[in-house]
């Protein structure tokens, strides 16, 4: 949720830390701060507002030092003020730390520490950690941090510096992601690889319970009372350019336009395993196991949950296996009997969403095989799943998920195809036909992007309404949900996604000439039914935007009913249509938000990776 970065080496730390924070702003951006060790003191600079403000401040009054830690915050405990910004310090100012996560027993610890004479200056849960370390026994910083860990409940990733050992950073991972970056010029710690990628492609992921001691020359990891052998670093597969804007005005737009490549790579990485057996082996499954599953459950949040809803249509039709889709946050607490023979799919772009991770753990504890469908290599969900199917979408920086969504759909289609064939649910000719359709998707999405200009014009007409309705049926219903979510996230306009026929049971009351109604209406088995729903809205004076198939250019009835028609090329198999019909909805959200002056890459109150419950 928050972003952490630290560096210790032979170079000046502040510019490195500020650059790292810039890369991490998508994790949280309500305030930012640095602590730099220099000449036996800790210089701290922090402020509410974007990292750019902090950079400006440091430019005017420079900080110097070759080791330090930085933080960009998404507030949980305490308002997003300068005082509550990280790093936080102990009473003496000799310990400073940054934290991502939540300390669940912070109130009790705070009361105890206050009673024993500690002075708290902030409303955060994090500050208790600094005071606990201040009091902790131990010869060195790592011993003192180790002593504190036992007293703290919750999930956290922390990085700590102290005046007594200036070139040292101690980092701990317990529930929130932390990795180390290794390079000749020094050692890094960060909450994700984006923060360090321009300096190194070698990272070591910490595991829960790891305490790392980082110096300019490298690192050690301690678990329990001992030091463990060095872990083999993982190579980050994407280049530093992948997190640049590359000429686009916003990451969201860049990522929308990257979809053809993201989909092509996702198909290629699966098909590189020539035989479906190889592909299943990657999921840690055998064809026999795959034939014996009796049901599939999908757990995910937000956009990934929408991908899961579409996955239900795909998997039920291609594999014949019943599928249920759960919000991970609900599933983790729901009363449920163990379900033998269940395959669980945990879908997550970041691989760090706390609710999805807990849902995964719960499914495993019930004996389910969990397959992670994950974009971020080495993330916690990827590591804890029994098998993992990686998307190859590349780093997604915009808070609103776009290319990860369409890549998730493609992954679900590939999985459906593989399972369908292994179970004999898909006849070989139908399987080949679907495969051919799948391979056309990158080109169809590329052509779908050609509506960008048209959508930009349309956005001018609809950028200030009372709200939006998004309607669709069958596999297009979750597309409508996703369109509504995208618009809400980035433009702050209210939007509601609904099954088109169900709107008669309530939402139709919202229809007026100030509430555009977006119909997702590809040419599928429900098309004529959707036309009837469009009639119903038209009869009530609604302004209709129809997302329809390119082939429907001549469709007279739709032309008569819709105020605006946006044509996209649609795959001939309806199961694949969400991959192209969602594209104009992403663009509509983007352009409406830009016209309204919203910060689309950093929408208010949101964070890219939700690592708290």
Catalytically annotated residues? 2, 608
Piece of the chain touching ligand AGP by CB under 6 A; list 45-53, 298-306, 470-478, 508-516: 298-306
Query: Tokens 């219903």 map to which residue?
Result: 477
Choice from 350, 418, 448, 586 touching ligand AGP (CB under 6 A)? 350
Choice from 182, 561, 610, 612 touching ligand AGP (CB under 6 A)? 610
User: Rounded CA gap, 45 and 55, in Å?
Assistant: 10
Instruction: Look at residue 226 and give its three-state secondary structure.
Output: strand
User: Rounded CA gap, 483 and 573, in Å?
Assistant: 21
User: Rounded CA gap, 261 and 256, in Å?
Assistant: 10
In sequence order, what are the residues at sequence separation of 6 or more whose Cβ sits closer than 8 angstroms to the Cβ of residue 446?
A: 260
For position 475 contacting ligand AGP by CB under 6 A, the verdict is no
For position 588 contacting ligand AGP by CB under 6 A, the verdict is no
Which of 161, 163, 162, 159 lies closest to 172 in space, CA to CA? 159
Q: Which is nearer to ligand AGP, 488 or 565 (CB)?
A: 488
Which of 114, 58, 119 lies closest to 93 in space, CA to CA? 119
Distance in Å, CB of 350 to ligand AGP, minimum: 3
Q: Exposed, middle or buried, 120 (CB in 10 Å: 0-12/13-18/19+)?
A: middle
Residues in binding contact with ligand AGP, number by CB under 6 A: 15
Distance in Å, CB of 606 to ligand AGP, minimum: 6
Instruction: Look at residue 374 and give its three-state secondary structure.
Output: strand
DSSP character string of 547-583: EEEGGGGG-HHHHHH-SEEEEE---SSGGGTHHHHHH
Distance in Å, CB of 75 to ligand AGP, minimum: 17
User: Rounded CA gap, 155 and 355, in Å?
Assistant: 12
For ligand AGP, the nearest residue by Cβ is 302
For position 372 contacting ligand AGP by CB under 6 A, the verdict is no
Distance in Å, CB of 612 to ligand AGP, minimum: 11
Piece of the chain touching ligand AGP by CB under 6 A; list 189-197, 260-268, 295-303, 537-545: 295-303
**Contact between residue 517 and residue 509 where contact means Cβ atoms under 8 Å apart:** no
For position 406 contacting ligand AGP by CB under 6 A, the verdict is no
Distance in Å, CB of 2 to ligand AGP, minimum: 15
Which alpha helices (H) appear in 258-335, and where do they start and end?
259-271, 276-282, 287-292, 302-319, 328-331
Piece of the chain touching ligand AGP by CB under 6 A; list 38-46, 301-309, 444-452, 560-568: 301-309
Piece of the chain touching ligand AGP by CB under 6 A; list 60-68, 156-164, 347-355, 554-562: 347-355
For position 480 contacting ligand AGP by CB under 6 A, the verdict is no
Chain residues 488-547 in contact with ligand AGP, contact rule CB under 6 A: 489
Piece of the chain touching ligand AGP by CB under 6 A; list 229-237, 300-308, 537-545, 587-595: 300-308
Residue 316 is encoded by which pair of tokens? 């039920």
Distance in Å, CB of 582 to ligand AGP, minimum: 12
Choice from 342, 385, 401, 577 touching ligand AGP (CB under 6 A)? 401
For position 302 contacting ligand AGP by CB under 6 A, the verdict is yes
In sequence order, what are the residues at sequence separation of 6 or more whose Cβ sits closer than 8 angstroms to the Cβ of residue 47?
A: 31, 32, 33, 53, 54, 57, 82, 85
User: Rounded CA gap, 560 and 132, in Å?
Assistant: 70
Residue 365 is encoded by which pair of tokens? 């504890």
Choice from 100, 187, 356, 586 touching ligand AGP (CB under 6 A)? 356
User: Rounded CA gap, 446 and 137, in Å?
Assistant: 61
In sequence order, what are the residues at sequence separation of 6 or more whose Cβ sits closer than 8 angstroms to the Cβ of residue 359?
A: 299, 326, 328, 329, 331, 332, 344, 346
For position 259 contacting ligand AGP by CB under 6 A, the verdict is no
Chain residues 541-580 in contact with ligand AGP, contact rule CB under 6 A: none
Choice from 301, 392, 459, 600 touching ligand AGP (CB under 6 A)? 301
**Torsion sign over Cα 250, 253, 258, 262:** positive
Choice from 37, 100, 304, 344 touching ligand AGP (CB under 6 A)? 304
For position 276 contacting ligand AGP by CB under 6 A, the verdict is no
Distance in Å, CB of 569 to ligand AGP, minimum: 24
Q: Which residues bind ligand AGP (CB under 6 A)?
A: 301-304, 348-350, 353, 356, 399-401, 489, 609-610
């Amino acid at each position: 949720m928050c972003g952490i970065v630290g560096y210790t080496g032979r170079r000046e730390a502040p510019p490195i830390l500020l650059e790292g924070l810039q890369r991490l702003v998508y994790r949280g951006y309500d305030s930012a701060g640095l602590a730099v060790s220099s000449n036996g003191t800790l210089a701290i600079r922090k402020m509410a507002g974007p990292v750019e403000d902090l950079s400006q401040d440091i430019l005017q009054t420079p900080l110097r030092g070759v080791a330090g830690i930085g933080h960009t915050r998404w507030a949980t405990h305490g308002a997003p003020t300068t005082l509550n910004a990280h790093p936080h310090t102990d009473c003496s100012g000799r310990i400073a730390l940054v934290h991502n996560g939540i300390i669940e027993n912070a109130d009790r610890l705070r009361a105890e520490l206050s009673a024993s004479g500690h002075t708290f200056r902030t409303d955060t849960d994090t500050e208790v950690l600094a005071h606990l370390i201040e009091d902790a026994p131990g010869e060195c910083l790592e011993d003192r941090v180790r002593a504190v860990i036992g007293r703290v409940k919750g999930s956290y990733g922390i990085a700590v510096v102290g005046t007594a050992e200036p070139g040292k950073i101690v980092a701990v991972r317990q529930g929130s992601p932390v990795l180390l970056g290794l390079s000749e010029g020094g050692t890094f710690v960060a909450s994700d690889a984006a923060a360090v990628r321009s300096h190194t492609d070698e990272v070591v992921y910490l595991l829960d319970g790891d305490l790392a001691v980082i110096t300019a020359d490298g690192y050690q990891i301690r678990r329990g009372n001992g030091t463990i052998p060095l872990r083999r670093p993982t190579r980050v597969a994407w280049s530093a350019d992948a997190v640049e804007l590359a000429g686009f005005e916003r990451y969201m737009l860049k990522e929308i336009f990257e979809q053809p490549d993201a989909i092509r790579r996702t198909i290629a990485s699966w098909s590189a395993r020539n035989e479906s057996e190889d592909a299943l082996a990657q999921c840690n499954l055998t064809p026999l196991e795959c034939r014996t599953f009796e049901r599939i459950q999908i757990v995910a949040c937000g956009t990934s949950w929408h991908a899961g809803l579409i996955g239900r249509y795909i998997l039920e039709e291609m594999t014949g296996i019943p599928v249920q889709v759960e919000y991970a946050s609900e599933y983790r607490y729901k009363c449920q009997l163990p379900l033998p023979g269940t395959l669980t799919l945990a879908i997550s772009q970041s691989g760090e969403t706390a609710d999805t991770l807990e849902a995964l753990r719960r499914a495993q504890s019930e004996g389910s095989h969990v397959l992670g469908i994950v974009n971020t290599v080495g993330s916690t969900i990827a590591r804890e799943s029994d098998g993992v199917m990686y998307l190859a979408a590349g780093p997604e920086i915009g808070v609103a998920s776009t290319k990860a969504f369409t890549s998730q759909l493609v992954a679900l289609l590939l999985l459906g195809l593989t399972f369908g064939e292994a179970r004999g649910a898909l006849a070989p000719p139908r399987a080949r036909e679907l495969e051919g359709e799948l391979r056309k998707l990158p080109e169809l999405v590329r052509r779908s992007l050609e509506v960008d200009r048209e959508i930009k014009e349309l956005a001018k007409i609809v950028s200030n309404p009372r709200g939006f309705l998004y309607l669709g049926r069958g596999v297009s219903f979750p597309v409508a949900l996703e369109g509504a979510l995208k618009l809400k996230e980035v433009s702050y306009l209210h939007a509601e996604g609904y099954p088109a026929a169900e709107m008669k049971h309530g939402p139709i009351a919202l229809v007026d000439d100030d509430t555009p109604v977006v119909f997702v209406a590809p040419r599928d088995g429900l098309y004529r039914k959707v036309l009837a729903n469009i009639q119903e809205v038209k009869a009530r004076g609604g302004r209709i935007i129809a997302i329809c198939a390119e082939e429907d250019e001549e469709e007279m009835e739709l032309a008569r009913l819709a105020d605006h028609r946006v044509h996209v090329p649609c795959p001939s198999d309806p199961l694949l249509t969400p991959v192209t019909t969602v594209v104009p909805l992403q663009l509509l959200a983007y352009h409406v938000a830009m016209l309204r002056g919203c910060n689309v890459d950093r929408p208010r109150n949101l964070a890219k990776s939700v690592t708290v419950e």
